[in-house]
Chain A
Amino acid sequence: MNTPVIKIENLVKRYHELVALDHFNLEIEEGEIFGLLGPNGSGKTTTINCILSLLSYDKGSIQVFGKEMHPDSYDIKRQIGVVMQNVAVFDELTVYENIDYFCGLYVKDKTLRKQYVEEAIDFVGLNEFRKFYPKKLSGGLLRRLNIACGIAHKPKLIFLDEPTVAVDPQSRNKILEGILELNRQGATIIYTSHYMEEVEQICTRIAIMDKGKNLAIGTKEELKQMIKKSEIISVDILDIAEEDINAIRKLPHVYDVIFANHQLQVLCSGGKHNLIRVLDYLQSRDLSFGRVYSELPTLNDVFLEITGKELRD
């Protein structure tokens, strides 16, 4: 078995009385795009800061590339790229100078650095803006510059902390495509975001955090199987009697039925052919209905059921 890229064991971090990380455990394998999900204050950023040795911790251990991580583990840091949640570039330097500066903190060889900087500029599509100062860039372009500064030195492990916040759809797609490309090139990626659809779209495994604990971990399919709700059937219907609602509730795999605003919602847990069973019942009772649709659970449903709150709470 390969050594995990990151291995966290029993990590405890306290801010005075507040326990930010409570015996937190995590293993991330090479080549993964790992999503870290959690509401504000759940401990995501604290976890990342502890991994990067930006924060000291009270207990536990962190290994990166099989070695204990310390503030002076410069050989490990050489292989890490960081893209912060807020744009971290110098307003006084141009696009090119910013990327060159941050790349230069890792790559001393000037020729190699020049090549890396050019590749990073190509990668994020900032060629025509290379002489622009950050203040002249739009929000989306600025985010791309932020990413370029974090990945120009070709790291093997990249931390992306909400890289698409306040970005237009076009830039967002460009960024997401870029992340997938970096992963194809061999980088392991740790990704945090509030956007569930992004996490669903690109992450190979996801951990759900709350109150400093790892509540669930797995692929999106595995996470969806962990929750009771597996399908929501919605039927537009003018009216339905209470006895019919009770009868539907007794159908196999149905665990709840809600009728409100001329819409019937049937919540099912697992099983197959739930939609056919519901429609068969409605036809057998000669109840006329309009639009019918079925939804599979989203990561947000998973999140809601596991943590009891919306991601953006």
Chain B
Amino acid sequence: MQLFKAFFKIAKHNLPAISIYFLIYAAMTFLLGTTSQKNMDANFQSKALDICVIDEDHSTASEAVVAYLDSMHHLVEVENDPAVLQDYLYYRYISYVLTIPEGFEEKLLAGNTSELFTDVKIPGSSTGYFVDQQLSEYVQTLQLYVSGGYTLKDAISAVNTTLSEHEYVTSITFKQDTVSERKEIFYFYQYLPYIFTVLLISGLTPIILRFQEKEIHARISCSSEPFINRSFQIVLGSICYSLLTWLLFHVLATLVYGDSLFSTNALYAMLNSFAYLMVAVSITYFASSFAISDNVAHMIGNTIGLGMSFLCGGFVPQSMLSEGVLKVAKYLPMYWYLRANNMLAGFSKDAFDLHFYWTAIGIQLLFAAAFLAFALVASRMRRQNA
């Protein structure tokens, strides 16, 4: 096991640099996890907005809409003067101006869905988008009841009951402390693929590269150590190194999150992270097969890690990424890792589906196998061209 021992002697020699990387990334992971949790709480509180509603229809339906908005937001009375309204919006006294035009009820009952309201909001604000969604949901549900034969009054009553039940369920969910704790764990898992990609490419590649340096590789190839043994020892070294990285992060996570790390969904997330670890190892092998320098390895590690994280939703939720980006991301392993993690955490609309979970794991393992195959082909080509 000469190569295996040398592998860890080299790793030991590189330990100070690797430790710095490890500490920085470990701190980053746990900090990002905590920060994201706080951000999530802030977003939840900001649901109650200051809104100005101008009802020009004064119908039962328009009053129901006003009452619905009043139940969730603060309605602010402002003079119906475009200049005044603009000022209020500009200075953020209000976030949204809704005008319910005359004839709203007629259009609603006729089943029209477009141009029911006119609204003015702060351009590009997520809060405006949030109110749009609520109004759209309310109107669509109301139209559904009316078209189902309900009178307008009954329909309004039914919609109010339905939507308030929905809110009730939501508030119960967020009040559960254990669930909130578990979410932090999933934030930890959300940043882990980026960390693994960077840590393994930056830490493992320089070790593998030592054995691939032209003269050293030639000297080892000339020896009586069989090729299979040599390859096995290097692969074993890489796997042990990666496992050690994975274990260290999980030991730290256990210290931070305690037993929550071993809840059912967290265990699924743990396995998911293990599958991604295999992907990161194979990407490292692929990068190493190009006989790059240590500095280039660091650069590649960061580029691949950051690139995949941004494209696949590691740093920005997948729900906020455009369809075009997501289409591209589907061809990257981190996308499947994050989709599975989002599903386990309840960060996405995906309901828990074990079949999808195993599919995501399988796709990641296929990516790992593909990168490993590419690495072997690249190494072979490099040797032939040497």
Q: Report yes or no: B215 in contact with A84, Cβ–Cβ below 8 A.
A: yes
Q: Report yes or no: B219 in contact with A88, Cβ–Cβ below 8 A.
A: yes
Q: A205 to B22: give the CA distance in the assembly, Å.
A: 57
Return the chain B residue nearest A80 by Cβ. B222
Return the chain B residue nearest A93 by Cβ. B9
Q: Report yes or no: A93 in contact with B10, Cβ–Cβ below 8 A.
A: yes
Q: Report yes or no: B6 in contact with A149, Cβ–Cβ below 8 A.
A: no
Q: Report yes or no: A92 in contact with B210, Cβ–Cβ below 8 A.
A: yes
Return the chain A residue nearest B13 by Cβ. A92
Contacts of A52 in B (CB 8 A): 218, 221-222
A195 within 8 A of B: no
Contacts of B226 in A (CB 8 A): 72, 74
> Separation in Å of the B214 CB from the closest CB of chain A?
8
Q: A149 to B13: give the CA distance in the assembly, Å.
A: 20
> Separation in Å of the A135 CB from the closest CB of chain B?
11
A237 within 8 A of B: no
Contacts of A88 in B (CB 8 A): 213, 215-216, 218-219
Q: A105 to B138: give the CA distance in the assembly, Å.
A: 75
Q: Which of A96-104, A172-180, A278-286 makes up part of the contact surface?
A: A96-104
A150 within 8 A of B: yes
Chain B residues 200-224 with CB under 8 Å of chain A are 210, 213-216, 218-224
> Separation in Å of the B170 CB from the closest CB of chain A?
56
B interface residues, tally (CB under 8 Å): 22
Contacts of B10 in A (CB 8 A): 90, 92-93
For the residues of A in contact with B, the DSSP-based class is loop
Residue interface bits A86-120, CB-to-B below 8 A is 1, else 0: 11111011000100011011100000000000000
Interface centre among B10, B214, B225 (most CB of A within 10 A): B225
Residue interface bits A190-217, CB-to-B below 8 A is 1, else 0: 0000000000000000000000000000
A228 within 8 A of B: no
> Separation in Å of the A68 CB from the closest CB of chain B?
16
Contacts of B225 in A (CB 8 A): 74, 105-106
A292 within 8 A of B: no
Q: A157 to B9: give the CA distance in the assembly, Å.
A: 30
A78 within 8 A of B: yes
Q: A2 to B222: give the CA distance in the assembly, Å.
A: 25
Q: A27 to B218: give the CA distance in the assembly, Å.
A: 24
> Separation in Å of the B46 CB from the closest CB of chain A?
53
A23 within 8 A of B: no
Return the chain B residue nearest A73 by Cβ. B224
B2 within 8 A of A: yes
Contacts of B60 in A (CB 8 A): none
Residue interface bits A211-232, CB-to-B below 8 A is 1, else 0: 0000000000000000000000
B293 within 8 A of A: no
Q: Report yes or no: B215 in contact with A102, Cβ–Cβ below 8 A.
A: no
Contacts of A90 in B (CB 8 A): 6, 9-10, 210, 216
B14 within 8 A of A: yes
* Contacts A54-B218, A101-B2, A102-B219; A92 near B9 (Cβ below 8 A): yes
A17 within 8 A of B: no
Contacts of B6 in A (CB 8 A): 90, 93, 97, 101
Q: A242 to B5: give the CA distance in the assembly, Å.
A: 76
Q: A240 to B38: give the CA distance in the assembly, Å.
A: 103
Return the chain B residue nearest A92 by Cβ. B13
Q: Report yes or no: B2 in contact with A104, Cβ–Cβ below 8 A.
A: yes
Q: Which of A72, A77, A93 touches B222 (beta carbons < 8 Å)?
A: A77
> Separation in Å of the B234 CB from the closest CB of chain A?
13
Q: A101 to B216: give the CA distance in the assembly, Å.
A: 12
Residue interface bits B1-13, CB-to-A below 8 A is 1, else 0: 0100110011001
Contacts of A86 in B (CB 8 A): 214-215
Contacts of A150 in B (CB 8 A): 219
Q: Report yes or no: A82 in contact with B222, Cβ–Cβ below 8 A.
A: yes
> Separation in Å of the B9 CB from the closest CB of chain A?
6
Contacts of B220 in A (CB 8 A): 105
Q: A72 to B228: give the CA distance in the assembly, Å.
A: 10
A71 within 8 A of B: yes
Q: Report yes or no: B9 in contact with A97, Cβ–Cβ below 8 A.
A: yes
Residue interface bits A47-77, CB-to-B below 8 A is 1, else 0: 0010011100000000000000001101101
Q: Report yes or no: A84 in contact with B219, Cβ–Cβ below 8 A.
A: yes
Return the chain A residue nearest B214 by Cβ. A86
- What are 13 A-B pairs at a CB distance below 8 A? A52-B221, A54-B218, A71-B227, A72-B227, A74-B225, A78-B224, A88-B215, A89-B216, A92-B13, A97-B9, A102-B219, A102-B223, A106-B225
Which residues of B pack against A, CB within 8 Å? 2, 5-6, 9-10, 13-14, 210, 213-216, 218-227
Q: 8 closest A-B pairs (Cβ-Cβ)? A: A88-B215, A105-B223, A92-B13, A104-B2, A78-B224, A92-B10, A77-B224, A74-B224
User: Known pairs A71-B227, A90-B6, A105-B224. 19 more at Cβ < 8 A?
Assistant: A52-B221, A53-B221, A77-B223, A77-B224, A80-B222, A88-B219, A90-B10, A90-B210, A92-B13, A93-B6, A93-B13, A101-B2, A101-B5, A102-B219, A104-B2, A105-B2, A105-B223, A105-B225, A150-B219
